[in-house]
Amino acid sequence: MKRQGGLDWFRIPAALLVIAIHTGPLASLTETGDFFLTRVLGRVAVPFFLMVTGYFLQDRWMEGWRGIRGSWNKTALLYAGATVLYLPLMLYKGDFARENVLWEELRDVVFNGTFYHLWYFPALLLGLPLTMALVRALGERRALWAAGVLYLAGVLGDSWYGLTVQVPALKGVYDQLFFLFDYTRNGLFLVPLFLLLGSTLAGRKRRMSPGRAAVGLALAFVLMTLEAFWLRSMDWLRHDSMYLTLPLVMVCLFALLSGWKVEGGKGLAQLALALYVIHPWSIVLIRGGAKALRLSWLLVDCSPVFYLAVCLLSAVLSVLWLVIWRRYGPRRTVLPRRAWVEVDCGALRHNLRALNGAMEEGQRMMAVVKAEGYGHGAVPLARLLEGEGVDAFATATLDEAVELRRAGIRGTILILGYVPPEAVSVALRRKLTLTVVDEAHAAALEATGKPVHVHWKVDTGMHRLGVDWERLTKTVRACPHLVTDGVYTHLCVSDQLDEESRAFTVLQLERFRQALETLEQAGIRPKEVHAQASYGLLNYTGVRCTLARVGIALYGVLSGPGTVCGAVELEPALALKARVTSVRTVKAGEGAGYGLAFRPGRESRVAAVSIGYADGLPRSLSGRGHALVRGKKVPVAGRVCMDQLLLDVTELPEVKPGDVVTFLGRDRGEVLSAETVAEEAGTITNELLSRLGARLERVYKAR
Ligand SMILES: *Cc1c(COP(=O)(O)O)cnc(C)c1O
């Protein structure tokens, strides 16, 4: 996720607002002004920090604990550190001399915070796993609704508590809750909504325009001010952290800030965090110092001076702390990658646009993202495409389709392969579309009696899957329970340009047309009709379909040479890389690798590289393949092993461990295209890409 400058910068005013809440800069001047500043304006600070956290967690909720572990551990560590920092003040305040001290401490540690301002940390520690569980159980959209309901429940225990007390049963419930914690502004009620709003806004392609966000923010803020003052006049406020209109304010504020193009930086985030953690110490020190110097009348009693003094001292302490931390703190280790796939999102967008340009009027893309999106990673890919307006996807298997739904993909998801009738309920629950693969399958699906959505596959000559084209109408009519959303066929020689193949494809399309015509005569008009995959789209026009099922071309690759007649400019989106781990000399007359298959006959240098056939690099590249190192093409030396291979780098004496090796993609001027490598390996690009293994890390480059 790219850093957003606007979000980084706003952390500083947000931290200063938190300090304002705890010092009351206007308290000695105007009560109304103080209320406005600390109880209304100040209330955007914490939700803002939560939304930023959600923003950076964007796609990670679905990964479960693995996705949030980093944030959780960091928060826990900060909480522990800050608690130690405030132990002296806790002792001084007499926290440990309370009645029921164990219970009180437990409440504090888990909910209220060990020191008053520290409640944010336990709230996040609880809110992170809760939010993750919600997203996993309900999907992103419904999780957002659930979080909204929790927030409403929180509001009823916070600023709208005056309403709650009028319903005795409800008040009873809240009394029980307040036995557990002091406020509802905690990890249960406050945190999930703002985390999810942050990640939802991060995932949205179309951003609110700055002008609209600013107007929205102004309006929402006026509403929130009115709400707060009205609640105050009604004497309904039990606390004042959660207003009904606060989420609206936050969405507009966040949209405005994330659209603000400025240079940000990690330093700002660290400074804001330090200000937040340290300022209560500054408060104590200023009070104590003022008393000792007999300056309380100025430094404490005059609230704006007090506020400024606390801010100043906090800033000095924070900067000091950051300098010390950077100098002596632990160094963060970033592990160098072993073997990885780099996906160029810009190339994917380009290909999408180019292919959409090749569609006929009224035809849309059905993006084929089976087999982990041909190695590009199905979920990130589908998310990117959905953001670009793609509303139909195809997978090979039920599991692949379920994975997309669980990741929040909303469009049509068609499963191209056979799905057993036992899985109909899963398909219905996940709103998946099945392919009817033959008459027996149709009968079995019909026998479930469930209104399952299907696309009928028609066998027009490939003889793999599909109902025979002449029997389509009869079969469809025999299945009144099935919901016919679409009809399609698959072309089996559309990538071959010779006359015979062209004639066969035309025949397939003609049979398909006839099947559709008969269907229409029977009064059945499927919404979606499709026949072309990548080559059908690139090589044939006038097919008159509503969809084209595009796979390989979307990834900017052709299966092999001589497969396309048209001229659509595509850009390959995937690069495959690994690293040199060791370099050594092989003397003349010696061999290297399994079977000593590399026999150079002269003194040579070989480099071991951290990728092998278990990562999906074909073993058939042994002794035949190539890779790019330092912008030069070098041959694979001997046999590809399971997890590594050797390169002959005799011509490149400067090669050393750590060097990046490119197996697919570009290195400086040199390119190894998927077409070339597939040919060297004796296969087609589709196989090469789709077999790239789960062990490869996938890195997405925004460009
Ligand atoms: C895989 C597949 C596609 C996509 O094919 P490409 O040649 O990669 O575009 C389309 N339709 C069906 C039925 C498929 O199995």
pTM of the predicted model as reported, rounded to 2 decimal places: 0.66
- Residue 551 Cα, ligand 1 centroid: separation in angstroms? 6
Q: Around Cβ 687, how many Cβ atoms within 10 Å?
A: 16
Ligand 1 atom nearest residue 368's Cα: 4
| Sign of the torsion angle spanned by Cα atoms 494, 495, 497, 501 | negative
- Choose from 6-10, 99-103, 310-314 the range with maximum mean pLDDT: 310-314
Q: Does 3 have pLDDT greater than 70?
A: no
Distance, CA of 639 to CA of 36 (rounded, Å): 73
Would the CB of 457 count as within 6 Å of ligand 1? no
Rounded to an integer, the average pLDDT of 590-604 is: 96
Rounded to an integer, the average pLDDT of 556-562 is: 79
Q: Does 356 have pLDDT greater than 80?
A: yes
- Burial (0-12, 13-18, 19+ Cβ within 10 Å), 400: buried
pLDDT band at 331 (very low <50, low <70, confident <90, very high): confident
Q: Does 21 have pLDDT greater than 60?
A: yes
- Residue 620 Cα, ligand 1 centroid: separation in angstroms? 25
Q: Does 82 have pLDDT greater than 60?
A: yes
Ligand 1 atom nearest residue 559's Cα: 7
Would the CB of 368 count as within 6 Å of ligand 1? yes
SS3 467: strand
Tell the residue number behind the tokens 């080559």, with chain if given: 535
Q: Tokens at residue 354, please?
A: 């180019």
Q: Does 701 have pLDDT greater than 90?
A: no
pLDDT at 141: 86
Q: Could you report the per-residue pLDDT of 498-508, keeping only the tens digit for each?
A: 999 999 999 99
In percent, the amount of the chain with pLDDT more than 70 equals 98
Residue nearest to atom 10 of ligand 1 (CA): 533
Distance, CA of 430 to CA of 139 (rounded, Å): 11
Q: Around Cβ 141, how many Cβ atoms within 10 Å?
A: 13
pLDDT band at 42 (very low <50, low <70, confident <90, very high): very high
Distance of CA 515 to the CA centre of its chain: 42
Q: Does 267 have pLDDT greater than 80?
A: yes
Distance, CA of 690 to CA of 555 (rounded, Å): 11
pLDDT at 332: 75
* DSSP per-residue codes, 207-223: PPPHHHHHHHHHHHHHH
Ligand 1 atom nearest residue 549's Cα: 10
pLDDT at 228: 97
| Sign of the torsion angle spanned by Cα atoms 303, 305, 311, 313 | negative
- Residue 449 Cα, ligand 1 centroid: separation in angstroms? 30
Would the CB of 339 count as within 6 Å of ligand 1? no
- Residue 416 Cα, ligand 1 centroid: separation in angstroms? 9
pLDDT band at 1 (very low <50, low <70, confident <90, very high): very low
Would the CB of 135 count as within 6 Å of ligand 1? no
Ligand 1 atom nearest residue 488's Cα: 13
Q: Does 255 have pLDDT greater than 50?
A: yes
Q: Around Cβ 163, how many Cβ atoms within 10 Å?
A: 14
- Burial (0-12, 13-18, 19+ Cβ within 10 Å), 214: middle
Q: Tokens at residue 160, please?
A: 């709208």
pLDDT band at 567 (very low <50, low <70, confident <90, very high): confident
User: Which of 351, 365, 366, 416 maximizes ligand 1 atoms within 8 Å of its Cβ, making it the mutation to test the pocket?
Assistant: 416
Would the CB of 533 count as within 6 Å of ligand 1? yes
Distance, CA of 182 to CA of 135 (rounded, Å): 27
Query: 680 and 625 in contact (C-beta within 8 Å)?
Result: yes
Query: Residues with Cβ < 8 Å from 202, sequence gap 6 or more?
Result: 1, 54, 55, 56, 58, 258
- Residue 129 Cα, ligand 1 centroid: separation in angstroms? 39
Q: Around Cβ 165, how many Cβ atoms within 10 Å?
A: 14
Ligand 1 atom nearest residue 374's Cα: 8
Nearest to 68 by CA among 151, 145, 150, 130: 130
Rounded to an integer, the average pLDDT of 53-63 is: 83
Rounded to an integer, the average pLDDT of 168-181 is: 95
- Residue 530 Cα, ligand 1 centroid: separation in angstroms? 11
Query: 555 and 574 in contact (C-beta within 8 Å)?
Result: yes
pLDDT band at 431 (very low <50, low <70, confident <90, very high): very high
Tell the residue number behind the tokens 């301002």, with chain if given: 117
Q: Does 344 have pLDDT greater than 70?
A: yes
Q: Could you report the per-residue pLDDT of 510-536, keeping only the tens digit for each?
A: 999 999 999 999 999 999 999 999 999
Would the CB of 551 count as within 6 Å of ligand 1? yes
Query: Residues with Cβ < 8 Å from 345, sequence gap 6 or more?
Result: 384, 573, 700, 701, 702, 703
Residue nearest to atom 3 of ligand 1 (CA): 533
Distance, CA of 319 to CA of 632 (rounded, Å): 47
Residue 242 dihedral angles phi and psi, to the nearest 5°: -125, 110
Q: Does 509 have pLDDT greater than 70?
A: yes
Q: Does 476 have pLDDT greater than 90?
A: yes
Q: Tokens at residue 475, please?
A: 């079969």
pLDDT at 206: 66
Q: Around Cβ 469, how many Cβ atoms within 10 Å?
A: 21
Q: Could you report the per-residue pLDDT of 189-244, keeping only the tens digit for each?
A: 999 999 999 998 886 756 778 899 999 999 999 999 999 999 999 999 999 999 99
Distance of CA 625 to the CA centre of its chain: 35
Please list the active-site residues.
Answer: 370, 594
Rounded to an integer, the average pLDDT of 489-497 is: 96
